[in-house]
Structure 1
Amino acid sequence: MEKLTPLSHLFMTVFLYSFSTFMVVPAMTDVIMSAVCPGEDECSVAIYLTGVLHAVVGLGTLVMMPLIGNLSDTYGRKVMLTAPMVLAIFPSAILAYSRSPYFVYAYLVIKTLTSMLCEGSVFCIALAYVADNTAEKRRGSAFGILSGVTSCAFVCGNLFTRFISTSSAFQVSAAGTVIAVVYMRIFLPESVAGVGIAGTGDKTEDESLLVKDSSENLQLFKNMPSFRDTISLLKTSPTFSQAAAVAFFTTLGEVGLYTSMLYFLKAQFHYSKDQFADLMVINGIAGTISQMVLMPLVAPFIKEKKILAIGLFFSCVHMLLYSIAWSSWVPYMSAMVTVLAAIGSPCVRSIASKQVGPSEQGKAQGCLTGICSIANVISPLAFSPLTALFLSESAPFHFPGFSLMCASFLVMIAFILSIMMREAPVAETSTDDNPAPSSDLNECTV
C-alpha cells in the first residue's frame, strides 16, 4: 500500500479531533438548560451565561492564538498541536461521568479555561501546516479540503449523536479525542515554517534535531508576539488588512448566529437534541459538498476574491432565512443554503496566507485568528442580551429572530468589504528550498 502523505495524516487528525468535539454540540443546549432552568424552553439566564463564557473564551484566544501561531513557526506544528488537543479531553470527560447541575457548572468552568487555549488553535495550526506543504497556486483548494474535512467530521459527529444517548455522546467524545491525540503523535510528521516536509528525503535526522531543540530551548514567553508585531503584520499589505477586516465582520455575524440560533429554535419550535442534530447534519453535509467538491472545481477558474464574495452573500441569505422562520421546517431549508455559503470560508485564509512568506504562516494564521477572537468577545456580549430580550415577553416589538437578522447585516458588511478588496501579488517565496509538489494534494483529494 502506498505510503500516506503528511497532509493525509493531518486531515485524519483534524477529522478525529473535530468528530469528537462536534458530537456533543447538539446536546449542550438541553444539558445547560436542564441545569440552569429545568423544564423550561426559554431561559434568559442560560443565554446570558453562555454569552459571557463565550466572551471570556474570546479574550483568552485573543492573547493565545497569535502566540501559538508564532511559536509553531519556531518549534513546529506538531509540538504546538499537542497541548490543546490533550486539554480538550477533560471537559467531555466531566459530563461523561455525570450531568448533574454541579458537574455541569464544573464543565462550564473547565471548558472555558481549556477553550482559551484550544478554541481555534487546532484549525489555526492545521492551516499553517497545509501552507507549509502546498504550493501557492493550490493553496486555496487545499484550505477548502481542510475545511471540508472539518465539515465532514461535523456531519459524522452530529449524525452519530442522533442515535445515541446524551451520556454516551460525552463518553465517546472523550475517548475519540484521546484517539486523535495518539494518532497525531504517532503518525503526523513534524513541520516547521519554511521547511516543507513534502517531497523531501530522509527526515529522521531533522526531526531528532527539532525535538532536541524544542526540549532545550522552548521558552514560551520570550517569543510572545506584541501588539506592535500584530499591527506590523497587518501593514504587510493592504490585501492582508482587508482580509482581516472581512474575517472580523464575518466572525461577528457567525458567532452572533450561533449564540442566538439554538435558543431561538428551542423557544420558537421546541427543538431538542435530535432536531438540533438533524439541522447540523444538513448544515454539515452542505458544507462538505461545498468545500470538498464545489471549491476544488471552481477554484482554478474563479478568483478567490470572487468566491469569497459569493460565499458571504449566500451566508447572509442563510442567516436571514433563519431570522424570519415561520415554521419548524424553514430552518432545514435555510441549512441547505450552506452549500453555497460555505464555499467562501477557506478563501479569506488563503488570501491572507499568500501575503506573507513561508516563515510567517503560523504567525499570519494566528494573527487572523486573534482578530476573529476580538469578534468572539464582542459578539456574545451584544447578541446574548439581544436574543434574551426578543425572546422574552418584554420585547419592544414582536420579532423573535431579530438578533439573527442583525447577524446577517454584519455578514453583509463583510460581503461589501470583500467586493472592495484589492488584488495584490503574493509574497516572494523560494520554491526550490520549500518544495510542495501537487501530488500531495491530489492524493489527499482522492
Structure 2
Amino acid sequence: MAKQIDGEDLRHLFACTFLFHFAVYMVLPAITDVTMDALCPGQDHCSLAIYLSGVHQAVSGLGALVVTPLVGKWSDKYGRKALLSLPMTAAIIPLVILSSGRSKPHFYTYYVVKMLTTMFCEGSMQCLTLAYVADRVCEGKRASAFGVLSGISLAGFVSGTLVARFLPTSYTFQVSASVAGFAALYMKIFLAETDGGASLADEESTLPLCSGEDESSLPKLPALRNIPASSDMITFLRSSITLTRAATVAFFTNLANSGYQAVLLYYLKAKFQFNKDQFADLMLIVGSLGATSQLLLMPLLAPVIGEERLLIIGLLASCTHIFLYGVAWSYWVPYFAAAFAALSVLVDPSLRSIVSKKVGPAEQGMAQGCVTGVASFASILAPFVFTPLTALFLSDDAPFSFKGFSVTCAGFISLVAFSLSMTLISKKTRSTILHSPSGKNNVPTCIMQCNTS
C-alpha cells in the first residue's frame, strides 16, 4: 500500500514553498540596481544590462526545457521529495555569491551561476510541488489546492519583497541566502514522501480519488522512456486534444509574460526613473493582490464556474494588465495596472488543474513537467524578440517615440492566448462531484483535502 500523507505533510510542503519563494524573490527589487551599478554606474539606461538579461532568460529557458520534463518523469518513479532537493539546494549558490560582494567580478560570477541553477530551480520547483499536491488531492478539490499552492508562492513573494523594501541592499542577499538554506534543511527534515507517481503501478494504491470515482476511467497515456526526449514530450501532449490546446495556451501566455517581465523594470527605470523602492512597491501590489485572490477567490470560484472559465477571465485581465504597462503615460499608471494581477494570477492554477485532470496518477509529474517545458520554450524565444526591441525603443535611435512598444507587443501576444483559451471552454473536464437521486449534493470524500482557511 502506498503511504498516505495527512494535512500536516501538506502544510510542510506549503512551508517549504513559502520559504523558497521568500528567499528567491527577496533579491528581485534590488537586482536591477545591482546590475546597473556593476555594468553602467550612474546611468538610467544600459543596453548591456538588457541584453544580458535576455541571454540569461534564453539560456535558462533552454535548460529548463530539457531538464523539467526529465525531473518530472523521474519524480513519478523515484518520488517528489527526492527530486525537490535539487532545485531547493541549487537556489542557494548564486545568493551566496552576491552576499559576499556586488562588484563587477562578483556580478559576472553570479550571472553565470544563476543562469545554470535557474535551469534546475524555477520550472522544476513548480512542476514538483504541483505533482506532490496532485498525488493526494482528489480531482474535485485539485483546482482549489493548486490555487492555494500558487497563493502560498505569492505570499512568499510578497513577504520577501516587503523585507527587501526596508532592508539595506548590503544585507538583502545575506538574509536571502540564509532563508534559502533553512528552506532546504526544513524540506529535508520535515517533508514526507508521497510514494506517488509510477510507484502506484506496482502496488494496490490509495489513489487520490473522490468516492464514486472509477479508477478505470482515468486516461492511459503513452508509456515513455526513462529519459524522455523532445519527441516523447510532443507525443505525450498530442495524446489528448485538451492537453494540446492547454500546452498551446501555456506557450503564448508564457511568451507574453516572459517578454514583458524581462524588460519591464528597465523600461520603468528609463521612463519614470523607478528605483529599488518603487520596484518593491509595485511588486508588493502585484503579490498581495495575487496571493489574496488565489487563497480566497480561487477556492470559491473554481467549483462554481470551473477552471476553463477562470482561465478565460484571468487571461483577459492579463491582457489589460500588460497593455496598461505599455501605454503608461504617468508614474501612477503602472501601480493601477498592477491591480489587475488579482485576476491574472488565476491563469496558471486553472491551466494546471485542467492538465492534471486529463492524466492518471502515474503521469502527474510528467504532465506538469511537459507543460512547464513548453512554457520554458516560450521563455527561450521571448528574449530574442523583446530584448532588442526594448533596447531599440529606449535608445536615441528609436524609429518613433514609444518606450513601451515592446511591452505593448507582449499584450497582443497575451490576447492570442486569450483567444485560444476559448477553445477549452467547450471541453468539459470530468466532474468528481456526484449527485444523489434526490438532487442533493453528495460531498466527495478525499484522501487528502486542502484546508484553505
- Give the TM-score taking structure 2 as reference length: 0.89
Q: Write the mapping of 1:261-272 to structure 2, written as runs, cut at 5 A.
A: 261-272=264-275
2:310 maps to which residue? 307
2:427 maps to which residue? 423
**Aligned counterpart in structure 1 of residue 15 of structure 2, from 5, 12, 29:** 12
Deviation at 1:4, TM superposition (A): 4.7
**Aligned counterpart in structure 2 of residue 99 of structure 1, from 99, 102, 107:** 102
Secondary structure at the counterpart of residue 197 of structure 2: coil
Secondary structure at the counterpart of residue 305 of structure 2: coil
Greater mean alpha carbon deviation, residues 96-105 or residues 343-352: 343-352
The answer as to 2:397 corresponding to 1:394 is yes
The answer as to 2:333 corresponding to 1:330 is yes
1:308-344 CA-partner distances (Å, limit 9, x unpaired): 0000001000001101111111111111111122122
Secondary structure at the counterpart of residue 177 of structure 1: helix
The CA distance in 1 between the partners of 2:404 and 2:27, in whole Å, is: 25
The answer as to 2:138 corresponding to 1:138 is no
The CA distance in 2 between the partners of 1:58 and 1:394, in whole Å, is: 30
Secondary structure at the counterpart of residue 412 of structure 1: helix
Structure 1 letter corresponding to 2:227 = M
Deviation at 1:198, TM superposition (A): 9.3
Contact 2:150 2:349 in 1 (8 A): yes
1:248 maps to which residue? 251
Structure 1 letter corresponding to 2:449 = L
The CA distance in 1 between the partners of 2:429 and 2:310, in whole Å, is: 18
**Aligned counterpart in structure 2 of residue 368 of structure 1, from 368, 371, 381:** 371
Task: Report how many aligned residue pairs link the two structures.
Answer: 416
The CA distance in 1 between the partners of 2:61 and 2:229, in whole Å, is: 18
1:207 maps to which residue? none
1:54-84 CA-partner distances (Å, limit 9, x unpaired): 1000110010001000000000000000011
**Aligned counterpart in structure 2 of residue 167 of structure 1, from 166, 170, 176:** 170
Counterparts in 2 of 1:307 and 1:41: CA distance versus 1, 3 Å: same
The CA distance in 2 between the partners of 1:439 and 1:198, in whole Å, is: 8
2:449 maps to which residue? 441
Counterparts in 2 of 1:197 and 1:40: CA distance versus 1, 3 Å: farther
Deviation at 1:300, TM superposition (A): 1.2
The CA distance in 1 between the partners of 2:343 and 2:376, in whole Å, is: 25
2:260 maps to which residue? 257
Deviation at 1:228, TM superposition (A): 2.5
Secondary structure at the counterpart of residue 256 of structure 1: helix
1:80 maps to which residue? 83
Secondary structure at the counterpart of residue 288 of structure 1: helix
The CA distance in 1 between the partners of 2:431 and 2:363, in whole Å, is: 11
The CA distance in 2 between the partners of 1:158 and 1:417, in whole Å, is: 33
1:85-127 CA-partner distances (Å, limit 9, x unpaired): 1111010000000001100000001101111111221111000
- RMSD between superposed Cα atoms in Å: 2.0
Deviation at 1:227, TM superposition (A): 2.2
Greater mean alpha carbon deviation, residues 230-239 or residues 369-378: 230-239
Structure 1 letter corresponding to 2:427 = E
Q: Write the mapping of 1:20-59 to structure 2, written as runs, cut at 5 A.
A: 20-59=23-62
Work out the percentage of aligned pairs sharing the same amino acid: 50
The answer as to 2:197 corresponding to 1:193 is yes
The CA distance in 1 between the partners of 2:431 and 2:315, in whole Å, is: 25
1:212-241 CA-partner distances (Å, limit 9, x unpaired): xxxxxxxxxx82102221122112210111
The CA distance in 2 between the partners of 1:186 and 1:393, in whole Å, is: 55
- Give the TM-score taking structure 1 as reference length: 0.90
Unaligned 5+ residue runs, structure 1? Answer: 200-221, 429-435
The CA distance in 2 between the partners of 1:189 and 1:102, in whole Å, is: 40
1:353 maps to which residue? 356
The answer as to 2:418 corresponding to 1:410 is no
Contact 2:141 2:450 in 1 (8 A): no
Structure 1 letter corresponding to 2:24 = T
Structure 2 letter corresponding to 1:84 = P
Deviation at 1:270, TM superposition (A): 0.7
Structure 2 letter corresponding to 1:154 = F
Secondary structure at the counterpart of residue 271 of structure 1: coil
Counterparts in 2 of 1:398 and 1:237: CA distance versus 1, 3 Å: same
Deviation at 1:442, TM superposition (A): 4.1
Structure 2 letter corresponding to 1:343 = L
The CA distance in 2 between the partners of 1:298 and 1:84, in whole Å, is: 32
1:216 maps to which residue? none
Structure 2 letter corresponding to 1:80 = L
Contact 2:67 2:120 in 1 (8 A): yes
Structure 2 letter corresponding to 1:281 = L
Unaligned 5+ residue runs, structure 2? Answer: 1-5, 209-224, 433-443
